[in-house]
Amino acid sequence: MEDVAERRAQIVAEIMAATGIDDAMIARLVDAFYARVREDAVLGPVFNTHVADWDIHLAQMRLFWSSVALMSGRYHGRPMPKHMNLPVDARHFDHWLRLFESVAREVCPPAAAEHFLERARRIAENLEYGVAVSNGAELVRGERFINPHLPSPDADGHTAQQLPC
């Protein structure tokens, strides 16, 4: 068991050295990103309806991103079930990624931002697929999930009305 812990510590140290990512950077990214999410016209209504305690959510997201970005193993939750019944589709995940990329590039040095973004893209793809399946969609590789029950976005990618929750 000690060999596993030592190997994990070595991996974390290598990623930190290569990217500059540390707990403080993760906290800055998570806090800045979710501050924007909460005020966002597209994502805010979804998150604000489903997140009961933002302090707890932010703490969990810091652990999640530590695990995702640094391979720290700190997060022990199951994100997929929490997202499967949300009123979201490909448009929301695209918007989430644009917002995340904007914040990551503002808060992080380039190597760290790219590291986060690579993982964020995979997360968005996996969550979108899970949401699609939970809505009965059968996607082929590369196909995107558009929920016909959600409002269509305007030319800027914003929905004309708030999402039903």
The Cα angle at residue 57 between residues 88 and 38, in degrees rounded to 5 = 55
Distance CA 134, CA 132 (A): 5
86-136: pLDDT as tens digits:
899 999 999 999 999 999 999 999 999 999 999 999 999 999 999 999 888
Q: Residues of 86-98 as b/e, b for ≥16 C-beta within 10 angstroms?
A: bbbbbbbbbbbbe
Q: Please name each of the domains of the chain with its CATH number.
A: 2-134 (1.10.490.10)
Distance CA 89, CA 155 (A): 17
> Is the separation of the CB atoms in 25 and 112 below 8 Å?
yes
The answer on pLDDT for 161 being more than 70 is no
- Quick one: which of 133, 165, 146, 135 has its CA closest to 92? 146
The answer on pLDDT for 48 being more than 80 is yes
> Is the separation of the CB atoms in 160 and 42 below 8 Å?
no
10-43: pLDDT as tens digits:
999 999 999 999 999 999 999 999 999 999 999 9
The answer on pLDDT for 153 being more than 80 is no
Distance CA 72, CA 23 (A): 10
What radius of gyration do the chain's Cα atoms show? Answer: 17
Q: What predicted TM-score, i.e. pTM, was given to this entire model?
A: 0.86
Q: Which residue has the higher pLDDT, 79 or 119?
A: 119
**What per-residue confidence (pLDDT) applies to 155?**
41
Question: Under 8 Å CB-to-CB from 72, ≥6 apart: which residues?
Answer: 8, 12, 66
